[in-house]
Structure 1
Amino acid sequence: MARPLTSPRRLGETENERVFPFVSRTVVAFRYGTGSRVVCYPQLTGATARHGHAVLSWPASCGSSDIQGFDTEYRVQNPSQFSSSSPLVSQHFLKVEQALHHHSQATKTLHHIKPQTLPPFIMPAYDDSDFEIPPMSPTYSTKDSSNMHLNANGLSTEGAIEIPATRSSISEAAKYMHNLSISPSMKDRRSSRNSFGTTLPIPRAKRHTRLSSVRHADPTSPVQPARELLAAQAQAVKPQLVEKAKNMAFAFDIDGVLVHGDRLIPEGARALEILNGDNELGIKIPHIFLTNGSGKIETARCAQLSQILRNPVSTDQFIQSHTPMSALSEYYRTVLVVGGEGYRCREVAEQYGFHNIVVPNDIIAWDPTIAPYRVFTDEERATSRPRDFTKICIEAIMVFSDSRDYATDMQIIMDLLRSRNGRLGTVAADPVSERIPIYFSQGDLLCPTEHPQPRMSQGAFRIGLEAMYKAMTGVDLERVVYGKPELATYKYADEVLTSWMQELHGEEKLPQNIYMIGDNPASDIIGGNEYGWNTCLVRSGVFQGGDNDENNPANFGVFPTVLDAVKKALRNELGQDFKMYFDEKINPVLHGSAADAAVVV
């Protein structure tokens, strides 16, 4: 079986308990034999024929066009690989049953035939809407679903949440080659950089990298008890306005919206001051930071941002691109981590709970000939962790941050992708069936920096790697991409916002009116649009276009700065006369009978 189409066992699971979340969008399930369930997935070009094949058949009176887009030829996985009570298998069987329900004469019979008699083909990408049924629950688990505890968002509170990608594309590299389109339009890509059938595990909001007990020094002056009292009094006389304020929230991109590199965008600090209580009600309005930035542990990045933004940034309200990837520590033990400055991404992986972390420098220290053009310093050799990698199986590749050495990192990644089950020094007979999975923390092609024009980002590295892999193997590289605009990132944002709402106001609920403020239409805006958020596009970063982006327009508007967007959103929800400052001379006694306080002069 081709590894990238499946997930490995969670650590501690037996083979028979293994769940395959990465086939969630490609599998089709059938009742086979005397009621056992079999999961099928389409045969892909270049795949080996070591598994059996099957044909889905139905009476001639029920044409293939009536079966809601299903092809007839499928590869079949061994039923013994699946737990009979697996929720994944059960839910996919239900999905197919629903899709074929109105075709009561369909036999849905499996006929085994010899693999070599089937020509290879590629399964087209389908959405849930193609089957005229509601999307499935994204929560898959090996646990008994009857004993699951659900949170306010309807997701299980145990283990990782596995979110299927909403859209699919085989290879984005093809867009930039030969006579094909060179437009990076998200309309063409259908909003996802993930391969067909991928599922992205995400963690719970409360986890070891975002402990509620962790707090950073507030660089601003502390709020005085007298001000808190005044704010409570101001809120008491306007309960309806308070409820509206609690029912809205903001999600901020960081680079190009609040900062340029390590330099503050002045309007960003003022926008955060308003949301942190410097407003008419003196109320803290929930907001999180949702960035495709990466390369540092969350505590270090939040401490840095607190100083730059002159406003407190808690790890409990912060999501960078690789934050949700901490859930993958439940699946993999030995991983190659790529990107970032020095060994910072190794520290990130250690914080996430990975047990055996390899970085490119470890491999070069073991065998410098792997990267013939790399100048390896004595200092790098002294801080690396070389070992005999011919005896180690690397289970997955994780690109956490932008590569600092394209040539070396691409060479090592290509060696592993073409190896037998992640063992360096070997070459797989089949580039698909023995390939280890590769994950990218985000897919942005460009990112804003202190340079006048945006610079290439991790998406450019990924596209180059895809093209190289295609040229060397003849097949498309299957990959998993986190970050905006992927669905998993927004699902995780819901989890974080709900927890932050509980921390601010003691109410475990998700605000209904969420505003995404970003500078990149191809990630911030399209992701927010598809997730049902109000999207605000600012001109302080990547976007420098006209009235709105042509391909991915912001649905709430385009603004010069983040401060303009915040003010517009607040007035949209709380009224046009809502004041963007807190009046410490307010006299609550004069504003209604609900207040009980002395006059403040």
Structure 2
Amino acid sequence: MSGFKEVDFGMPSPKQRVHTPPDSPDKTTRPKDSPLDTKKDSLGENRGSIRHRRLGSWGNMVPIETSPGSHNTIEVPALRSPDADTSPYMHNLSLSPSMRERRVSRNSFGAALPIPKSKRQSRLSSVTFPGIQDVLKRPGMPPIQPTREILASQVQDVYAEKVKAAKNMAFVFDIDGVLVHGDRLIPEGKRVLDMLNGDNQLGIRIPHIFLTNGSGKPELARTEQLSKILQNPISTEQFIQSHTPMRALAEYYNTVLVVGGEGTRCREVAEQYGFKDIIVPNDIVAWDPSIAPYRVFTEEERAAARPRDFSKINIDAIMVFSDSRDYATDMQIIVDLLRSENGRLGTIAKDPVSQRIPIYFSQGDMLCPTEHPIPRMSQGAFRIGLEAMYKALTGVELERVVYGKPELATYKYADEVIASWMDILHGEERVPENVYMIGDNPASDIIGGNMYGWNTCLVRTGVFQGGENDPENPASFGVFANVWEAVTAACRKELGDDFVFKWDDKGVNPVLHDSAAASAIEV
């Protein structure tokens, strides 16, 4: 290691310094030209005080708080290592996820990633109006149809053009920052879903799906949680998490390391996706605690781990399913594997490129809105740190694949889900012509929707808190105060300014009219 001399820090050499005995702390003498001269400078400031030092002649100082009995103190300049500039280590996607500079990451628009094509099992009961799931059935006869559905059918017959337009539009919602903040409901989110689920002039269900970069739970658990928060039924058939399309990777890899999420939830997700041999970081730490020297491994974590001799196992791929809960441990294990020979822990590859195993990230968001007033770091921040670390250690770029918004694979998969959901709702398996993406993050929701040809709406209830529109990735349809303002503006455009965002039982039900001559379709 190279050594440093005091003159490198702008300090006087030993020959220039004269120290008085320890019993005379206040009478230390220095040459008149010493940088620590106690005389007043040109600004009239006394520069002899260590505790109140301003900028010295040799640049920024790191002040050392001293006690009255301390005599031999110096100040060290705050130097900036050339390695601190991580920009040379970043992929273009990480540096500038902007429409102004077209991204050329490994899986940027135009590249092919596997997405699942097989349909999931339908759960029609989750999209019916509350209270009619258990419709009474009569032996040998059709089920009793609720009055509201009869009336809605009659209204839709009259307003056939509006119905056609309603079936030719769809909404794609981001969740965090648009409909909820963590586990806390954004009130306009419930109001919007009420309207789209039939509480509107036509009594019609307007197609909508949920596309989130959130992750870490099985889809069913997450939809059940959201259904309670939003007080509206949400089906797994209309729900896409960032790692949902990654189920297709189960056909390509046998033994995988799955990273992120709370506890063992991501292992459960991977098992549901069909991955055969799933390893999580805790399994590796339980096998060899020295691999993560700063980790405090609890007995509960040890009990849930599945250790084995990983020095005899080749890991085929790394899957970052969700945000890391322990950056130090997860980064250490991932870097060890990326530098290993074909995924064998305890080895270092001679060629860091040809012997490197692939790594997949479920999403690339730098920030995520939570209950905290300032958005928190998300998986994208973890990935960027990992990229910089890998480049610093190996000298080569880390090739990686990113799913989630704004990557193309996620939008291709969204088309599949929208078409399937249209089939469930209206018996028409197709993607409507007018798709509106409602999001709060310009760098994922808006850039992805714009590049895929959707109408994009930016709301101010999450990450975006800027001016009239985002200068880098402007929303094509506009910026709105909240999700209700965005959805109603889109509906007025497609369905007309006279469209009413409320179902009126009294207006369409002749039984509730004062006049017996009132029509069942009067609105």
How does the TM-score come out when normalised to structure 2?
Answer: 0.76
Aligned to 1:340: 261
State the shift of 1:238 in Å. 1.1
Work out whether residues 233 and 588 of structure 1, in 8 Å CA contact, stay in contact via their aligned partners in 2.
no
Q: Structure 2 counterpart of 1:586, which letter? A: G
Aligned to 2:182: 261
1:389 matched to 2:301? The reply is no
Work out whether residues 192 and 486 of structure 1, in 8 Å CA contact, stay in contact via their aligned partners in 2.
no
Aligned to 2:87: 175
Match of 1:585, SS state, is helix
State the shift of 1:287 in Å. 0.1
Match of 1:450, SS state, is coil
Q: Using a 3 Å threshold, how does the CA distance of structure 1 residues 268 and 176 change in structure 2: closer, same or farther?
A: farther
User: Is there any run of 5+ residues in structure 2 with no aligned partner, and where?
Assistant: 1-84, 134-144, 511-517
1:464 matched to 2:385? The reply is yes
Distance 1:524 1:240 in 2: 31
Match of 2:99, SS state, is helix
Greater displacement, 186-195 / 269-278: 186-195
State the shift of 1:175 in Å. 3.2
Q: Structure 1 counterpart of 2:463, which letter? A: V
Question: What RMSD over aligned residues (CA atoms) do the two structures have, in Å?
Answer: 2.4
Q: Deviations over 1:196-230 (max 9, x none)?
A: 795321101513xxx21486598955488110111
1:279 matched to 2:200? The reply is yes
Work out whether residues 342 and 355 of structure 2, in 8 Å CA contact, stay in contact via their aligned partners in 1.
yes
Of 115, 119, 124, the residue aligned with 1:202 is: 115
Aligned to 1:186: 98
Match of 1:504, SS state, is helix
State the shift of 1:289 in Å. 0.1
1:437 matched to 2:350? The reply is no
Distance 2:250 2:509 in 1: 52
1:412 matched to 2:329? The reply is no
State the shift of 1:379 in Å. 1.3
Work out whether residues 337 and 343 of structure 2, in 8 Å CA contact, stay in contact via their aligned partners in 1.
yes
Match of 1:435, SS state, is coil
1:574 matched to 2:482? The reply is no
Distance 1:518 1:419 in 2: 40
Match of 1:516, SS state, is strand
Q: Deviations over 1:418-455 (max 9, x none)?
A: 00100111111000000000000000000100000000
Distance 1:248 1:219 in 2: 21
Q: Structure 2 counterpart of 1:321, which letter? A: S
Q: Structure 2 counterpart of 1:380, which letter? A: E
State the shift of 1:184 in Å. 3.6
Alignment of 1:30-109 (within 5 A): none
1:517 matched to 2:438? The reply is yes
Work out whether residues 244 and 574 of structure 1, in 8 Å CA contact, stay in contact via their aligned partners in 2.
yes
Distance 2:409 2:312 in 1: 35
State the shift of 1:177 in Å. 6.7
Match of 1:537, SS state, is strand
Q: Using a 3 Å threshold, how does the CA distance of structure 1 residues 572 and 492 change in structure 2: closer, same or farther?
A: same
Aligned to 1:592: none
Work out whether residues 256 and 541 of structure 1, in 8 Å CA contact, stay in contact via their aligned partners in 2.
yes
Work out whether residues 205 and 495 of structure 1, in 8 Å CA contact, stay in contact via their aligned partners in 2.
no
Distance 1:354 1:181 in 2: 28
Q: Deviations over 1:500-531 (max 9, x none)?
A: 00000011111000000000000000100011
Match of 1:577, SS state, is coil
State the shift of 1:328 in Å. 0.2
Aligned to 2:47: none
Of 157, 160, 170, the residue aligned with 1:239 is: 160
State the shift of 1:190 in Å. 2.1
Distance 1:431 1:425 in 2: 14
Aligned to 1:127: none
Aligned to 1:117: none
Q: Structure 1 counterpart of 2:483, which letter? A: V
Distance 1:546 1:273 in 2: 30
Q: Structure 1 counterpart of 2:116, which letter? A: P
Of 403, 411, 421, the residue aligned with 1:500 is: 421
Work out whether residues 205 and 492 of structure 1, in 8 Å CA contact, stay in contact via their aligned partners in 2.
no
Q: Using a 3 Å threshold, how does the CA distance of structure 1 residues 320 and 588 change in structure 2: closer, same or farther?
A: same
Of 453, 457, 469, the residue aligned with 2:374 is: 453
Distance 2:325 2:316 in 1: 23
Aligned to 1:9: none
Q: Using a 3 Å threshold, how does the CA distance of structure 1 residues 428 and 206 change in structure 2: closer, same or farther?
A: same
State the shift of 1:194 in Å. 3.8
1:212 matched to 2:133? The reply is no
Q: Structure 2 counterpart of 1:186, which letter? A: S
Aligned to 1:327: 248
Distance 1:187 1:175 in 2: 19
Distance 1:538 1:248 in 2: 19
State the shift of 1:354 in Å. 0.2
Work out whether residues 191 and 486 of structure 1, in 8 Å CA contact, stay in contact via their aligned partners in 2.
no
1:530 matched to 2:418? The reply is no
Of 213, 236, 243, the residue aligned with 1:292 is: 213
Match of 1:289, SS state, is strand
Aligned to 2:71: none
Distance 1:194 1:332 in 2: 19
Q: Using a 3 Å threshold, how does the CA distance of structure 1 residues 177 and 393 change in structure 2: closer, same or farther?
A: closer
Distance 1:256 1:218 in 2: 26
Aligned to 2:270: 349
Q: Using a 3 Å threshold, how does the CA distance of structure 1 residues 382 and 199 change in structure 2: closer, same or farther?
A: same
Q: Using a 3 Å threshold, how does the CA distance of structure 1 residues 189 and 175 change in structure 2: closer, same or farther?
A: farther
Q: Structure 1 counterpart of 2:87, which letter? A: K
1:316 matched to 2:237? The reply is yes
Work out whether residues 333 and 356 of structure 1, in 8 Å CA contact, stay in contact via their aligned partners in 2.
yes
Aligned to 2:482: 561
State the shift of 1:377 in Å. 1.0
Distance 1:598 1:454 in 2: 50
Q: Deviations over 1:83-124 (max 9, x none)?
A: xxxxxxxxxxxxxxxxxxxxxxxxxxxxxxxxxxxxxxxxxx
Q: Deviations over 1:104-149 (max 9, x none)?
A: xxxxxxxxxxxxxxxxxxxxxxxxxxxxxxxxxxxxxxxxxxxxxx
How does the TM-score come out when normalised to structure 1?
Answer: 0.67
Work out whether residues 507 and 522 of structure 2, in 8 Å CA contact, stay in contact via their aligned partners in 1.
yes
Q: Using a 3 Å threshold, how does the CA distance of structure 1 residues 215 and 349 change in structure 2: closer, same or farther?
A: farther
Q: Using a 3 Å threshold, how does the CA distance of structure 1 residues 479 and 565 change in structure 2: closer, same or farther?
A: same
Greater displacement, 550-559 / 185-194: 185-194
State the shift of 1:383 in Å. 1.0
Match of 1:235, SS state, is helix
Distance 2:385 2:271 in 1: 28
Q: Deviations over 1:463-515 (max 9, x none)?
A: 00000000000000000000000111111000000000000001111100000
Distance 1:181 1:194 in 2: 9
Percent of aligned positions with the same letter in both sequences? 70
Match of 1:424, SS state, is coil
Q: Using a 3 Å threshold, how does the CA distance of structure 1 residues 217 and 362 change in structure 2: closer, same or farther?
A: farther
Match of 1:304, SS state, is helix
Work out whether residues 241 and 574 of structure 1, in 8 Å CA contact, stay in contact via their aligned partners in 2.
yes
